[in-house]
């Protein structure tokens, strides 16, 4: 079973390797390389065969050429000995042995044909005479056997070894003149011509054969030459020596063979190099890519990035993809968590809205009951106001969080008196959150700010108020401390809000700054609200260039610490605006006419009642177009309250049309929007003033006082 499993694994790996693109490329490269290598080696061996054949052919041609030259060289001597030996006077000489005749008639052959030796023998083999040059001193060296051989062949050529060296001997029998073919008469003697094979002989032959000649010794090496060995045979056909002829052989295949061998080695080396770099540049990166795709191996991504070329780019893409995948996973987790939080939020929102609405509706209904005293009804009205305020706070938190998510909220930087801002916030919270069981303290810095700072005072105030509100919410008794310090070294202002409350359970600490996050733990009841306060605070602190953090121990308390950047206001003239308390006038209308452009009936009734309390006469326009028409038709209108969001013609458009024909009448914008951008737009267009909903009777009174008690404003 195990063996079978191993076999299957091996087959699987082999199949995967054989099916891989890399193996196919390597196989193709190997086939092409080894095919070319085989072709080159075939050419190499074919070249060697051709070289041998050409050398053999050249040698045969050279041998034939030398033999032909030697025969051609021998012909004059053969011819002269033939001509001289069918001569009647020569026949007579063999009988008379007249040396004088021989010396005068025959000896001149030595000079004419450049031979070294002439001699004559009688038919019985006795030596008659000889003529020779100084090169040959031996008198008689023709053996008797050679004479017999000449008698048989009539004419012959052979070689003899004598003391002076090797001689080439031409011999013939002597016959009468009428027997040129030497077949009619008996020979009367023998005549011999001999040439010594010396340096002069070799020089003459070398000149006509374009070859080098020497006696063959048996150890000659023919390098880049063709050669032939001509045996020198005596009268019996025995080789007494040999002549070694050689000539330069210009046909050289060594360069071709070297080129082919180098080509073969280059092919083999190129295959090795390609295989190595294919592994390095292809197989190795592909193996990294497989690891990344299969396992998401981060070390494989790092290794892939270290490889030059496009694989480095692919590695970076994998890294980016991994980061994006991780970010998507985090985003997915956050989205899932956000969905859970939103589900909880919707349930909580329903509860939080129903709670103040229940109080508003319930106590409003009880106001109509005559059985309750005026003091109780005043208490009911206070509860209704507080519930309405709580409802507005819930809506404001939702709107603010939405603005933060949409990146609409931007810090509005202006000069702020830090000490005054902190003190006023402390005083405000002390009045609203009063609890005799909680000691609320403010610790000011030993070294206060030297001058006003540049920051968004509204957002800073809200962060401090949120943290103090949370501290009171979870501290039934004990202490709450607000402390701040100016750090000019690090250019920071550090704020601390410390309480001795119940603390935050450890399992909830990681989600404290998450939106819609609320502590749902046993024994914790101070948990009203949407859970957006700390999320908004963290966003505001970040906008102001700081950080926020906390430390908490269950049963001991919680300390929140945040910082903002310290920037002093370096301007010389700083405008200081102080809010003045506005006393609500009892009656300032004197039958003055106010146009209220409001499409919502409930809102119109509310503002109508508030204005009539002061004696004003009210005209209503249900949309912007009607407001423009009423202003055109009625020049007695003293002031206009213009709602921004209306049908047919919105507040902005209506304002612009009214200003076309009336530039004096005060127009006050009413808006349900609390965005700073909306307020900026109202001011930019040119409205004289604005009111934010829900409408506050004190603010309305301040507007009326501004435009009717002080008309010059």
CB atoms within 10 A of CB 394: 19
Structural domain boundaries in the chain: 53-248, 342-406, 414-565, 593-709
Of 193, 182, 42, the C-alpha closest to 131 is: 193
**Which architecture, in CATH terms, is 593-709?**
3-Layer(aba) Sandwich (3.40)
Distances (CA, A) of 227 to 23, 50, 58, 201: 55, 18, 9, 19
CB atoms within 10 A of CB 470: 24
Does an H or E element contain 365, and which? helix 310-367
- Does pLDDT of 56 surpass 80? yes
Q: Which residue has the tokens 């605070």?
A: 537
Q: Which of 1-5, 63-67, 289-293 has the highest mean pLDDT?
A: 63-67
Distance separating alpha carbons of residues 486 and 368, to the nearest angstrom: 55
Q: Which residue has the tokens 């709670």?
A: 355
DSSP 632-681: HH-TTEEEEEEESS-SSS-HHHHHHHHHHH-SSS-EEEEES---HHHHHH
pLDDT at residue 581, rounded to an integer = 44
pLDDT at residue 81, rounded to an integer = 92
Mean pLDDT of the 118-130 span: 94
Mean pLDDT of the 678-686 span: 86
Q: Determine phi and psi for 627, rounding to 5 degrees.
A: -65, -40
Q: Grade residue 623 by pLDDT with cuts at 50, 70 and 90.
A: very high
Instruction: Give pLDDT tens digits for 28-50.
Output: 888 888 888 888 888 888 888 88
pLDDT at residue 678, rounded to an integer = 78
Can you state the angle between helices 199-209 and 21-84, rounded to 10 degrees? Answer: 120
- Does pLDDT of 86 surpass 80? yes
Question: What is the chain's mean pLDDT, rounded?
Answer: 82
CA 620 to chain centre: 70
- Does pLDDT of 710 surpass 70? no
Asked if 186 contacts 93 with a C-beta cutoff of 8 angstroms, the reply is no
Asked if 118 contacts 131 with a C-beta cutoff of 8 angstroms, the reply is yes
- Does pLDDT of 6 surpass 50? no
Asked if 690 contacts 709 with a C-beta cutoff of 8 angstroms, the reply is no
- Does pLDDT of 337 surpass 80? no
Distance separating alpha carbons of residues 173 and 429, to the nearest angstrom: 162
pLDDT at residue 698, rounded to an integer = 78
Q: The tokens of 437 are what?
A: 């069981």
- Where is average pLDDT lowest: 524-528, 688-692, 694-698? 524-528
**Which architecture, in CATH terms, is 342-406?**
Orthogonal Bundle (1.10)
Mean pLDDT of the 297-311 span: 75
pLDDT at residue 628, rounded to an integer = 94
CB atoms within 10 A of CB 492: 16
Q: Grade residue 278 by pLDDT with cuts at 50, 70 and 90.
A: confident
Mean pLDDT of the 217-224 span: 80
Asked if 189 contacts 121 with a C-beta cutoff of 8 angstroms, the reply is yes
Q: Determine phi and psi for 446, rounding to 5 degrees.
A: -65, -40
Of residues 376 and 127, more confidence is placed in: 127
Query: Does domain 414-565 correspond to CATH entry 2.60.120.620?
Result: no
Give the 3-state secondary structure of residue 125. Answer: coil
Q: Grade residue 575 by pLDDT with cuts at 50, 70 and 90.
A: very low
- Does pLDDT of 122 surpass 60? yes
- Where is average pLDDT lowest: 136-140, 369-373, 550-554? 369-373
Question: How many degrees, rounded to 5, is the angle at CA 661 between CA 657 and CA 664?
Answer: 105
- Does pLDDT of 611 surpass 90? no
Instruction: Give pLDDT tens digits for 454-463.
Output: 898 888 988 9
- Where is average pLDDT lowest: 410-424, 433-447, 526-540? 526-540
Model-level pTM? Answer: 0.41
Q: The tokens of 642 are what?
A: 């213009």
Distance separating alpha carbons of residues 245 and 212, to the nearest angstrom: 6
- Does pLDDT of 573 surpass 50? no
- Where is average pLDDT lowest: 84-98, 150-164, 496-510, 693-707? 693-707
pLDDT at residue 10, rounded to an integer = 43
Q: Grade residue 525 by pLDDT with cuts at 50, 70 and 90.
A: very low
Asked if 513 contacts 535 with a C-beta cutoff of 8 angstroms, the reply is yes
Of 3, 290, 147, 396, the C-alpha closest to 304 is: 290
pLDDT at residue 235, rounded to an integer = 92
Of 583, 416, 564, 560, the C-alpha closest to 499 is: 560
User: Using CA atoms in the order 626, 627, 629, 635, what is the torsion angle rounded to 10 degrees?
Assistant: 150
**Which architecture, in CATH terms, is 53-248?**
2-Layer Sandwich (3.30)
Q: Grade residue 572 by pLDDT with cuts at 50, 70 and 90.
A: very low
Q: Grade residue 523 by pLDDT with cuts at 50, 70 and 90.
A: very low
pLDDT at residue 579, rounded to an integer = 39
- Does pLDDT of 15 surpass 80? no
Q: Grade residue 254 by pLDDT with cuts at 50, 70 and 90.
A: confident
Mean pLDDT of the 653-677 span: 86
Asked if 162 contacts 143 with a C-beta cutoff of 8 angstroms, the reply is no
Question: Which ranges constitute the DSSP H helices of 433-479?
Answer: 457-473
Cβ burial of 118 (10 Å; 0-12, 13-18, 19+) is: buried
User: Using CA atoms in the order 685, 689, 694, 698, what is the torsion angle rounded to 10 degrees?
Assistant: 180
Q: Grade residue 536 by pLDDT with cuts at 50, 70 and 90.
A: confident
- Where is average pLDDT lowest: 396-410, 441-455, 673-687? 396-410
Of residues 613 and 688, more confidence is placed in: 688
Cβ burial of 36 (10 Å; 0-12, 13-18, 19+) is: middle
């Amino acid at each position: 079973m195990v063996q079978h499993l191993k076999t299957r694994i091996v087959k699987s790996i082999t199949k995967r390797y054989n099916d891989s693109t890399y193996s196919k490329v390597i196989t193709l490269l190997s086939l092409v390389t080894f095919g070319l290598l085989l072709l080159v080696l075939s050419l190499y061996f074919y070249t060697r065969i051709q070289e041998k054949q050409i050398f053999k052919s050249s040698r045969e041609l050279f041998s034939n050429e030398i033999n032909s030259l030697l025969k051609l060289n021998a012909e004059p001597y053969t011819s002269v000995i033939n001509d001289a030996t069918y001569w009647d006077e020569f026949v007579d000489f063999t009988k008379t042995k007249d040396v004088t005749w021989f010396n005068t008639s025959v000896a001149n052959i030595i000079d004419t044909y450049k031979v070294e030796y002439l001699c004559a023998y009688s038919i019985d083999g006795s030596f008659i005479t000889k003529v020779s040059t100084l090169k040959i001193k031996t008198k008689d060296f023709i053996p008797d056997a050679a004479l017999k051989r000449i008698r048989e062949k009539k004419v012959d050529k052979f070689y003899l070894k004598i003391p002076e060296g090797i001689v080439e001997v031409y011999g013939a029998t002597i016959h009468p003149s009428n027997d040129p073919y030497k077949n009619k008469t008996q020979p009367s003697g023998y005549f011999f011509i001999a040439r010594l094979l010396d340096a002069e002989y070799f020089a003459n032959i070398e000149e006509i054969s374009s070859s080098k000649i020497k006696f063959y010794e048996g150890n000659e090496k023919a390098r880049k030459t063709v050669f032939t060995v001509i045996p020198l045979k005596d009268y019996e056909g025995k080789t007494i020596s040999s002549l070694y002829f050689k000539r330069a052989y210009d046909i050289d295949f060594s360069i071709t063979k070297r080129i082919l061998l180098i080509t073969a080695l280059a092919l083999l080396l190129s295959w090795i190099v390609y295989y190595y770099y294919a592994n390095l540049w292809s197989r190795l990166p592909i193996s990294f890519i497989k690891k990344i795709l299969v396992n998401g191996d981060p070390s494989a991504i790092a290794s892939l990035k270290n490889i030059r070329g496009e694989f480095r780019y692919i590695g970076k893409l994998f890294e980016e993809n991994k980061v994006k995948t991780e970010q998507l996973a985090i985003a997915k987790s956050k989205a899932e968590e956000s969905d859970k939080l939103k589900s909880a939020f919707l349930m909580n929102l329903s509860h939080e809205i129903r709670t103040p609405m229940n109080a508003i509706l319930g106590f409003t209904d009880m106001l109509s009951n005559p059985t309750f005293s005026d003091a109780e009804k005043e208490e009911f009205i206070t509860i209704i106001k507080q519930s309405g305020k709580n409802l507005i706070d819930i809506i404001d938190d939702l709107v603010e969080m939405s603005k933060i998510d949409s990146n609409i909220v931007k810090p509005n930087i202006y000069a702020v008196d830090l000490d005054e801002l902190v003190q006023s916030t402390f005083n405000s919270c002390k009045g609203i959150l009063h609890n005799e069981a909680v000691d609320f303290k403010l610790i000011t810095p030993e070294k206060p700010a030297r001058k006003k700072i540049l920051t968004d005072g509204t957002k800073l105030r809200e962060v401090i108020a949120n943290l103090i509100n949370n501290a009171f919410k979870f501290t039934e008794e004990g202490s709450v401390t607000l402390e701040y310090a100016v750090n000019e070294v690090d250019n920071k202002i550090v704020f601390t809000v410390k309480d001795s409350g119940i603390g935050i359970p450890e399992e909830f600490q990681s989600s404290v700054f998450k939106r819609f996050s609320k502590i749902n733990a046993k024994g914790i009841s101070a948990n009203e609200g949407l859970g957006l306060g700390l999320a908004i605070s963290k966003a505001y602190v970040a906008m102001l260039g700081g950080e926020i953090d906390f430390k908490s121990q269950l049963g001991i308390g919680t300390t929140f610490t945040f910082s903002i950047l310290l920037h002093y206001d370096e301007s010389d003239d700083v405008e200081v605006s102080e809010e003045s308390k506005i006393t609500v006038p009892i009656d300032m209308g004197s039958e003055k006419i106010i146009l209220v452009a409001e499409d919502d009936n409930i809102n119109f009734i509310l503002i109508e009642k508030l204005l009539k309390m002061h004696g004003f006469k009210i005209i209503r326009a249900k949309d912007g177009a009607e407001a423009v028409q009423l202003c055109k038709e009625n020049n007695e209108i003293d002031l206009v309250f213009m709602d921004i969001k209306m049908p047919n013609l919105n507040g902005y458009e209506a304002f612009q049309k009214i200003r076309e024909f009336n530039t004096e009448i005060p127009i006050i914008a009413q808006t349900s929007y609390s965005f700073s951008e909306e307020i900026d737009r109202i001011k930019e267009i040119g409205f004289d003033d604005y009111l934010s909903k829900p409408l506050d009777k004190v603010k309305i009174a301040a507007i009326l006082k501004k435009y009717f008690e002080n008309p010059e404003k």
